[in-house]
Structure 1
């Protein structure tokens, strides 16, 4: 008589650990008090936790990094993505990233409003900041390759930092957005990205310098 084959046991992974942590925070509305208690409650070993993260703070940063990695994975599934312009790639990134955030909105809102000190809540975004700046540098580098005039080329450092500031602005808007299906956030994403790229694409450096000189003269008069 044939015996029924038992399903293979699912291997423990970083994604499973992240899921356990997010569920804990949502159910208890606070971070676990210790790795020992967290592991015991979730029937895992402390070693399984430390195989992936050295602390809960590291795990919290890892969750945002995972949001980024999942976003990149989803984008690159599209065969059309590589043919997109830098503007289209940044738009696609924001739309995809905030779709993932929306799917995890309860956790994100809880952790971003956990501490009265708003800047302390942003510490969990440190790794994400590195990820977004690297992504943005790649976009502006790609854009610069298509510009023959050296003076029209933009600084990768300035653009990457501007993209991070832009992301924080959109994140704050999304947190406060009460529109249906967060349609207002979609509009903000489109307008902010188009504004930045219109400036970079159509504003030669000499025009910026001329504007700066004009404003300086006006201030002095």
Structure 2
């Protein structure tokens, strides 16, 4: 007999992910899922509209857990902007690695499907807010309009960078996903070099790393 779960959002979320991991497929219906965990459909719909929205919440859960971990660190507030972003990446991907089977199931092993993008839409909103809150400053530009465009584009560029890192992590077969760690370090450094228009050495170094890992593989 199924054990009755806590009827709050996280309890339902955990019950769903456990069932997904055990069966390797979505429940047949909301009714069947609710019956299996001994809650009413009303209790389910108080938190989620459907399974797609629930799965979307998994990624915001990982995001929130990451931010909470960082906020509990006594050193985090003293970090510079780049170190804060690096800390976010390493902590976030630790969360994903600890739940890799689930993440791969939800993202269908990284297939570039529209449904996958929808599952990440709430994460995108929260991550962009986080990046905006870091106050990353681009280089001073002579044209005011260009500066505004660059400032607005920082969070979007950061999101694309996060997605490229996610794809690399999905494909990474190195022990302990150590190559993902290298990818994170080099991509963050290259990103800050791009924003500050510093010499292209680190960007070229990052490009060489991608070439070695993807083209020559």
Q: Which runs of 5+ in 2 are unaligned?
A: 200-217
Superposed counterparts of 1:17-56, under 5 Å: 17-56=12-51
- The range that moved more, 33-42 or 116-125, is 116-125
In the superposition, relative to structure 1, how do residues 122 and 10 fare at CA in structure 2: closer, same or farther (>3 Å)?
closer
Contact 1:114/1:121, CA 8 A, preserved across alignment: no
| Preserved CA contact (<8 Å) 1:137 1:156 | no
SS in 2 for 1:143: coil
Q: Which has the larger radius of gyration?
A: 1
The secondary structure found in structure 2 opposite 1:185 is helix
Which residue of structure 2 lines up, in the alignment, with residue 207 of structure 1? none
1:193 aligns with 2:188: yes
1:11–1:23 Cα change, 3 Å: closer
2:137 to 132, 143, 147: 143
1:179 corresponds to 2:161:
no
Q: Which runs of 4+ in 1 moved over 6 A?
A: none
Q: How many residues align?
A: 192
Deviation at 1:183, TM superposition (A): 0.5
TM-score by length of 1: 0.79
Following TM superposition, by how much is the alpha carbon of 1:120 offset from its aligned partner in structure 2, in angstroms?
Answer: 2.4
Q: Distance in 1 between matches of 2:110 and 2:54?
A: 17
Residues 50-89 of structure 1: pairs in structure 2 closer than 5 A: 50-89=45-84
* TM value normalised by structure 2: 0.80
SS at match of 2:49: coil
Q: CA deviation at 1:175?
A: 0.4
Deviations 1:95-136 (A, max 9, x none): 000000011100111121179662322220010111111111
CA RMSD of aligned residues (A): 2.4
Match of 1:90 in 2: 85
